[in-house]
Amino acid sequence: MVSIRTIAGAQLLLAVLVLGGVWLLLPARWVWVDLPATGLGVACLVAAFALWRALPWAIRVARVVLWAELVIGSLVCSLLAVSAAQLAGSYGPVGAGGAALLITIAVLCLPYLIVFPALQLRGLGQR
């Protein structure tokens, strides 16, 4: 059985990864990327804090945040895959390099935004 503190630590890790990735690693600012990612990162911080402090509403908030992570993660990975397919199909060998980069990013997002939230939801479901 997964402990609440483990889930809180995973949420804190995801918050650091999302906020650091958006605000430190992205070379340009796009409102339609910055706002949802920052919102998700802050929501993960709130869930981590609530779970760590064992607040009465912590598990409900964590479930909502984990479902949001799954939805956003599925959307991001799907959009990256569709963009990669469009690049490879439209630009041939030149687009294949960009498509490979987009697929690599999608594969790197997959465990953090889809697999870990699903496992955490399963752990919370046992409570």
pLDDT tens for 91-107 read: 988 899 999 999 999 99
The whole model's pTM is what?
0.88
Q: Give how many domains the chain has, as a whole number.
A: 1
Domain that holds residue 82: 4-125
pLDDT band at residue 69 under the 50/70/90 scheme? very high
Q: How far apart are CA 50 and CA 81, in angstroms?
A: 34
Segment (H or E) for 75: helix 58-110
